[in-house]
A and B are shown apart, each in its own frame.
Chain A
Amino acid sequence: MGRLDHVSADAGISGSVTPLRVVSPTRQIDEREFVVEIADATRTFGPVKAIDGLDVSIEKGRISVLLGPNGAGKTTAIRMITGALSPDTGTARVFGLDPAGDDGHEVRRRCGVVSAKPSLYDRLSGWDNLRYAAELYELGRGAGADNRIREAAAMFGIEGSLDHQVGGYSTGMKTRLALARSVLHDPDLLLLDEPTSGLDPESAFAVLELIRKLTRDGQTVLMCTHLLLEAEGLADEIVIMQKGTTLLAGTPGELASQYWPTPQVKVTSPSAEGFDLLATLDGVHAVSIDGETATADLDTLDRIPDLVASLVAGGVPVQAIVPFSPTLEDLYFAVRRDRGDDHGSDDIRPPEALSGRPARALPEAA
């Protein structure tokens, strides 16, 4: 993943941020082991530039999330990783091999893919779909392969439906079958393109739990999504993509600290004079005001009790004081705003719109 200690950012409290620079991890001296390294890759389809100077590195044993609106190039990036598509320029290395060249077979054998559409054979039974994958992925046709098929199906709770024709499956069952197929051969790298698309919240949660479990078992997961809530609860590392290129990459904590380098607190009060007082208090570096809410940049959140006391003593009618913990949604839109493209983001869905669950704050950088 692109490291944020190579990203320059002077974050102001009002959110004005110096443009970030993602440095290709392939050019870094780094002891981390990267399973995927895409450097300066481009790929065009006719007049459309789907990938435009993409730099992405995926660390072994981690869950990395490609986040971006439709058309950002997430699916094309996955296709490059398996060698299904080759970059026009730049390089893609997976397990240190060239997926689009002679090493393609070895790379694809070690990858499990769930594409945006389940890519299943509707006329075949669930069992036959898994059997087909087992044979293509060199598991053979014996009892060992049969057991593996049953295990993979059981992992996603579809073992009772394997005899049925897939055409009769619900969308959720199809997704589960596609997931079972992707882990059948115990891949080292799991590539998931919108894996919870079409799933009910319960199934989606189960899938995300399973993805967590896979990385605990040492597997590397790369997931594409435009659902912020999914990425927030899951991602060890995040790559924000737009128009075929990487806007920003790093752990959620690292990314948050780039945009919000100091702790912040939001103070709600109908008194504008109160905000003037706030700006003069010890430990407050700066204040930005938006209506009846002021965001204060502090040296430490330990100042909050003193802050409350001082404001009350100054006669300021304080309605609320809340430490600000940025969510992925905050981060995402801050990045988009920073790049002068805060419009056209309709296809990125904020967490609340999904399930009514509150957004989770990003963890602090280590």
Chain B
Amino acid sequence: MNWSRALTVARTDLKQLAQARDFWLPMVILGTLFFVVFPGILLVTITQIGQVDAIANVSQTLEVLPANAQEQIRGDTPQGRTGYALAVFLFAPVAVVIPLTISTAVGAATIVGEREKGTGEFLAHSPAGVQEIYIGKLIASLLPGYVTTAVGFGVYSLIVNLTVGPEVGGWFFPTAQWWVMILWVLPPFLAICLSLVLRLSARVTSTAAAQQASGLISLPLIMIAYSQSTGALLGSGAIAIWLGGVAWVVAVFSLSRGVRSLTRSRLLGVASGV
């Protein structure tokens, strides 16, 4: 395994993505909507509209949260407590859905795309090992989703702290559980999803088929990731650590299986190889 060559494959794929405005523009819009626009509007509205019944009602619903979660909520006013709870708990799944959606879209096209464009022939004849190509494709699929999330997460943190922070006694976000989720829970779920999507991309005959099928595969996984990440935030830190650990084990197993799905004959797209 030559990591330099794997990174070369990844870098070249990313460079092509960067050249594809029709790809990254929707990605930026998606991230902006879910990390900036929607939370921004919601949190500003809650913290600025003052003491009204609606806020009081929402504040009361926080009582349904687990005791562990309720203990974390800061703030003395209904606006502050509601804003805190929404910022910390409601938008957690967004941080999972965005990278999975983006990375699935990239990953689905990555291998079958080489075949469709005929560039798979170049790779098949090159000294690059299939393992190196696979890892390169994995990195190139993973990074756009993860970077979008990291950037979106940074902007989201700023919005949350600027809007809710004054109501709860200062900047508080990201909380410890969010760090665990972003750095420990999210990556293995991304890896699991991509290992399945790349396997699919190596086998199907067209990008359109890959997109369709990867949607079917990734949707249940997104729902699992959604529920698990919410649980990680609502529960104790130990749960999140365990959850992430199990996900990493599954991810490593799934990736090691996935490497085998890529062969030179599949890069060529010859009948028996696809």
Contacts and interface: CB of A to CB of B under 8 A. Distances in A.
| Binding site secondary structure of chain B | helix
Interface string A133-145: 1011110000000
A79 B127 contact: no
Contacts of B4: 135
B15 interface: yes
A119 B265 contact: no
Bin chain A's interface residue count: 20 to 34
Given A83-B264, A84-B264, A105-B127, A123 B122 contact: no
A82 interface: yes
A132 B8 contact: yes
Interface in B1-27: 4-5, 8-9, 12, 15-16, 19-20
Interface stretch (B87-95, B243-251, B266-274): B266-274
Nearest to A119: B122
Given A45-B271, A46-B271, A85-B268, A137 B118 contact: no
A136 B127 contact: yes
B202 to A, nearest CB: 15
Nearest to B122: A119
B119 interface: yes
Contact of A45 (B9, B117, B118, B270): B270
Contacts of A128: 12, 15
Contacts of A124: 12, 15-16, 19
A181 B122 CA distance: 10
A46 B272 contact: yes
A165 to B, nearest CB: 7
A111 interface: yes
A68 interface: no
A197 to B, nearest CB: 13
Contact of B129 (A105, A120, A133, A181): A105
Contact of A82 (B9, B15, B20, B125): B125
B5 A115 contact: no
B15 A138 contact: no
B124 interface: yes
Most chain B CB atoms below 10 A, which of A108, A118, A122, A181: A108
A165 B128 contact: no
Interface string A165-192: 1000000000000000100000000010
B48 interface: no
Residue among B12, B126, B129 with the most chain A CB within 10 A? B126
A138 B129 CA distance: 13
B265 A85 contact: yes
Contacts of A181: 122
Nearest to A191: B125
Contact of A137 (B15, B20, B126): B126
Contacts of B264: 83-85
Nearest to A117: B118
Nearest to B7: A135
A115 B118 contact: yes
Contacts of B270: 45, 79, 85
A163 to B, nearest CB: 13
A48 interface: yes
A72 interface: no
A128 B16 CA distance: 10
Given A119-B118, A121-B16, A135 B129 contact: no
A181 B125 CA distance: 12
A109 interface: yes
B142 to A, nearest CB: 20
Contacts of B121: 84, 113, 115, 117, 119
Interface in A65-96: 79, 82-85
A133 B268 contact: no
Interface in B110-156: 117-122, 124-129
Nearest to A48: B271
Nearest to A122: B117
A132 B12 CA distance: 7
Nearest to A107: B127
A118 B118 contact: yes
A45 B272 contact: yes
A70 B264 CA distance: 22
Contacts of A345: none
A113 B124 CA distance: 10
A271 interface: no
Contacts of B122: 113, 115, 119-120, 133, 181
Nearest to B16: A123
A326 B12 CA distance: 50
Interface in B158-173: none
B128 A136 contact: yes
Contacts of B16: 121, 123-124
B113 to A, nearest CB: 10
A141 to B, nearest CB: 9
Interface of A: 44-46, 48, 79, 82-85, 105, 108-109, 111, 113, 115, 117-124, 128, 132-133, 135-138, 165, 181, 191
Per CB-CB distance, the 5 closest pairs between chain A and chain B, nearest first, are A45-B271, A119-B122, A84-B124, A117-B118, A113-B125
